[in-house]
Amino acid sequence: MTAGLLLQSLNRVIDLEGARWAASVNRVPAPVIVVCLISLLAVVMVGYLYGLGDRRHPLSTVILAVAITAVLLVIIDLDRPQQGLIQVSQQPMIDLQNRFRTPAH
């Protein structure tokens, strides 16, 4: 009974350590953050300018359209990890493969 509880606790600790390690290694790519910040700025600017005047400003509309298009392009680029501008690191998979190859102590 106690051995079973010990094994469950040990397995839980090992799983948590793996999750913590994966969270520290896997980060959102910088281009995604940049595109999101530009899009947020464009949306705020368009909303602010539309609230100030009685008519729409063509420049702000174009910037908003470009920002939304950029977000969609980033989503499409992330959907295809082997192609495109944003390359996702395969290091976590290589580390996992190396863990399987090394014998347990």
> Residue 40 domain-assigned?
yes
Q: Which long-range contacts (CB under 8 A, 24 or more apart) does 92-98 make?
A: 92/22, 92/25, 92/26, 95/25
Residue 11 forms part of a structural domain: no
For 79, the domain range is 30-87
Nearest Cα to 45, choosing from 62, 32, 33? 62
pLDDT at 22 over 80: no
Residue 105 is assigned to a structural domain of this protein: no
pTM of the model: 0.44
Domain-embedded: residue 62: yes
For the chain, what is the domain count?
A: 1
Could you tell me if residue 5 is inside a domain? no
pLDDT by residue (tens digit) across 53-101? 777 778 877 877 887 888 778 777 776 666 777 777 777 778 878 888 8
Q: Is residue 21 part of a domain?
A: no
Give 25-42 pLDDT, tens digit per residue: 666 677 777 877 887 787
